[in-house]
């Protein structure tokens, strides 16, 4: 068996010529820099880039293929420098009949298919060059459009209060897609503020594979969440040549659908308390609730002008009081990205990457005594505690990330006790 690391939701900030694609994303987040970062620093072997529908980005992709730096795989996907497969994706916003908006990512085997798909979008999207554009059709219709041209479809950050199926549209995904549509979904993306334990409290999600992706808007945030995919070693399936280690688009599709021996065997993600929308946030008193979920109104000022937390929303609509994972559900492991650990600044980060190679190695493999030699006892202990999941956390909400706290006094203070 071979295991590959996959992060399937990475944004593009600018094209190589500096034209904006996602305005809120970093300028150095270009197609080529993403491919290089995944291949060399992050250790990500399958990267889904979700702004490939932009014609300006497509020109960048064409150039990399023409120069030979990227090669189209027979089973779909593009191989970058023999180390990383790039999957071409397109995140879009759909609108239901009642006005509810949600984000979804469609992934395609290659340049040809995504071009055909973008051709269909021309009348529906105002500015195709920009990321996550509003597409004036309901999700069910976009699912059909993507599938018809050979793509797969994944609802994105499914529970966030802004622009997500459960967060801002429906109580049941089946209302949005219908029974038939549910079967066509390739997977469901959990988003940073949720995990499998929470999502498995909703009965209709049992058949779906869960994805934990970074939704990165800058290079360092790539792989803050990722998936481990298992592929039988003996053959290369519909993928590339026998000596290629890069899985193809087809391999990824099989893994999501759990076919032909391929599957997602683990999710790695933030402790959901670290996510930006984990708990309900009152916009009047700017406070994140510390009370038992679901909190749907501010418990301090009574205002209903709140950004409902992902945890609060899930508890509100759950079928079960405890998770009921189906037998195929893989383990979900928490990780705290190095840049979120208090006291780990640029200098410590640089030293760690120098010594251990990639962030994945530091987070999951490096031994405590080796870490101590590089960053000292205190910080090494923090990395170990984050690996064991024993750090205390202050939950995020309303667009503010949660944070690990090392000090009980700070915890009490922040909670306002
Ligand atoms: Zn989105
Ligand atoms: Zn996104």
Q: Tokens 């080796």 label which residue?
A: 370
Mean pLDDT value across residues 204-216: 98
Q: What is the DSSP letter of 324?
A: -
Q: How many helices (H) and strands (E) does the chain have?
A: 13, 18
| Cα(391)–Cα(155) distance, integer angstroms | 31
Decide if pLDDT at 136 tops 90. yes
Lowest mean pLDDT among 230-244, 301-315, 351-365, 386-400: 230-244
The answer for residues whose C-beta is within 8 angstroms of residue 2's C-beta and 6 or more apart is 230, 231, 232, 233, 245
What pLDDT is recorded for position 114? 97
Closest ligand to 155 CA?
Answer: 1
Q: What distance in angstroms lies between residue 153's CA and the mean position of ligand 1's atoms?
A: 14
What is the percent of the chain where pLDDT is above 70? 94
User: How far lies 355's CA from each of 323, 350, 363, 368, 375, in Å?
Assistant: 40, 9, 13, 13, 11
**What is the DSSP annotation of 51-80?**
BTTSHHHHHHHHHHHHTTSEEE-TTSSEEE
Higher pLDDT, 346 or 187: 187
Closest ligand to 165 CA?
Answer: 1
Lowest mean pLDDT among 73-77, 170-174, 242-246, 343-347: 242-246
Mean pLDDT value across residues 17-31: 93
Q: What distance in angstroms lies between residue 155's CA and the mean position of ligand 1's atoms?
A: 9
Q: What distance in angstroms lies between residue 319's CA and the mean position of ligand 1's atoms?
A: 25
What is the percent of the chain where pLDDT is above 90? 80
Q: How confident is the model at residue 241 (pLDDT cuts 50, 70, 90)?
A: very low
Distance of CA 129 to the CA centre of its chain: 22
Mean pLDDT value across residues 4-24: 94
Q: What distance in angstroms lies between residue 13's CA and the mean position of ligand 2's atoms?
A: 11
| Cα(52)–Cα(110) distance, integer angstroms | 10
Q: How confident is the model at residue 361 (pLDDT cuts 50, 70, 90)?
A: confident
Closest ligand to 163 CA?
Answer: 1
What pLDDT is recorded for position 246? 82
What pLDDT is recorded for position 232? 87
Decide if pLDDT at 82 tops 90. no
Instruction: List the one residue out of 93, 108, 417, 83 whose CA is nearest residue 253.
Output: 108
- Is the domain spanning 2-272 CATH 3.20.20.140? The answer is yes
Q: What distance in angstroms lies between residue 28's CA and the mean position of ligand 2's atoms?
A: 17
Closest ligand to 214 CA?
Answer: 2
Decide if pLDDT at 235 tops 80. no
What pLDDT is recorded for position 414? 56
pLDDT in tens, 138-180: 999 999 999 999 999 999 999 999 899 999 999 999 999 999 9
> What pTM was computed for the model?
0.93
Q: What distance in angstroms lies between residue 272's CA and the mean position of ligand 1's atoms?
A: 17
Closest ligand to 215 CA?
Answer: 2
Q: What distance in angstroms lies between residue 9's CA and the mean position of ligand 2's atoms?
A: 6
Q: Tokens 């999207």 label which residue?
A: 125
Lowest mean pLDDT among 35-44, 55-64, 147-156: 35-44
What pLDDT is recorded for position 13? 95
What pLDDT is recorded for position 234? 58
Name the average pLDDT for the chain: 92
Q: How many CA atoms lie within 13 A of 50 on its CB side?
A: 28
Closest ligand to 277 CA?
Answer: 1
Q: What distance in angstroms lies between residue 173's CA and the mean position of ligand 2's atoms?
A: 19
Q: What distance in angstroms lies between residue 132's CA and the mean position of ligand 2's atoms?
A: 7
What pLDDT is recorded for position 410? 61
Q: What distance in angstroms lies between residue 325's CA and the mean position of ligand 2's atoms?
A: 26
What pLDDT is recorded for position 412? 56
Lowest mean pLDDT among 47-51, 103-107, 127-131, 373-377: 127-131
Closest ligand to 164 CA?
Answer: 1
Mean pLDDT value across residues 81-110: 96
Decide if pLDDT at 415 tops 80. no
Lowest mean pLDDT among 238-242, 258-262, 398-402, 407-411: 238-242
Decide if pLDDT at 245 tops 80. no
Q: What distance in angstroms lies between residue 11's CA and the mean position of ligand 1's atoms?
A: 10
Closest ligand to 50 CA?
Answer: 2
Q: How confident is the model at residue 398 (pLDDT cuts 50, 70, 90)?
A: very high
The answer for residues whose C-beta is within 8 angstroms of residue 294's C-beta and 6 or more apart is 280, 311, 312, 313, 315, 316
* Domain segments of the chain as ranges: 2-272
Question: Which two structure tokens, joined as six digits, stand for 163?
Answer: 């622009």
Q: Where are the alpha helices (DSSP H) in 124-164?
A: 139-148
């Amino acid at each position: 068996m071979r295991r590959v690391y996959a992060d399937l939701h990475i944004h593009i900030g600018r094209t190589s010529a500096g034209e904006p694609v996602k305005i809120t994303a970093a300028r150095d987040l270009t197609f080529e820099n993403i491919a290089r970062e995944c291949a060399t620093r992050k250790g990500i072997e399958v990267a889904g880039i979700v702004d490939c529908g932009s014609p300006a980005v497509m020109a960048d992709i064409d150039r990399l293929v023409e120069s030979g730096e990227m090669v189209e795989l027979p089973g779909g996907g593009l191989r970058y420098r023999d180390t990383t497969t790039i999957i071409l994706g397109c995140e879009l916003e759909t609108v239901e009949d009642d006005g509810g908006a949600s984000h979804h990512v469609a992934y395609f085997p290659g340049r040809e298919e995504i071009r055909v798909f973008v051709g269909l979008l021309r009348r529906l999207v105002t500015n195709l060059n920009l990321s996550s554009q509003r597409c004036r059709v309901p999700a069910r219709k976009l699912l059909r459009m993507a599938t018809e041209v050979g793509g797969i479809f994944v609802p994105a950050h499914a529970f966030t209060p802004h622009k997500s199926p459960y967060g801002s549209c429906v109580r049941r995904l089946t209302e949005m897609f219908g029974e038939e549509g549910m079967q066509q979904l390739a997977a469901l993306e959990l988003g940073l503020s949720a995990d499998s334990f929470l999502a498995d409290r909703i009965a209709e999600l049992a058949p779906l594979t869960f994805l934990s992706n970074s939704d990165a808007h800058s290079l360092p945030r790539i792989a803050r969440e990722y998936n481990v995919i298992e592929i039988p070693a003996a053959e290369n399936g519909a993928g590339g040549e026998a000596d290629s280690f890069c899985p193809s688009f087809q391999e990824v599709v099989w893994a999501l659908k759990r076919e032909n021996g391929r599957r997602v065997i683990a999710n790695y993600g933030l402790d959901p308390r670290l996510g930006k929308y984990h708990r309900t946030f009152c916009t009047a008193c700017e406070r994140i609730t510390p009370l038992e979920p679901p909190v749907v109104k501010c418990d301090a000022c009574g205002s209903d002008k709140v950004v409902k937390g992902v945890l609060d929303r899930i508890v509100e609509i759950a079928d079960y009081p405890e998770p009921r994972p189906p037998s195929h559900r893989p383990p979900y492991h928490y990780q705290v990205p190095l840049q979120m650990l208090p006291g780990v600044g640029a200098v410590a980060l640089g030293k760690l990457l120098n010594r251990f190679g990639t962030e994945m190695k530091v987070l999951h493999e490096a031994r405590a005594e080796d870490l101590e030699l590089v960053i000292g006892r205190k910080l090494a202990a923090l990395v170990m505690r984050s690996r064991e999941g024993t750090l205390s956390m202050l939950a995020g909400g309303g667009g503010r990330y949660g944070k690990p706290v090392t000090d009980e006094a700070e915890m009490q203070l922040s909670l306002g006790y």
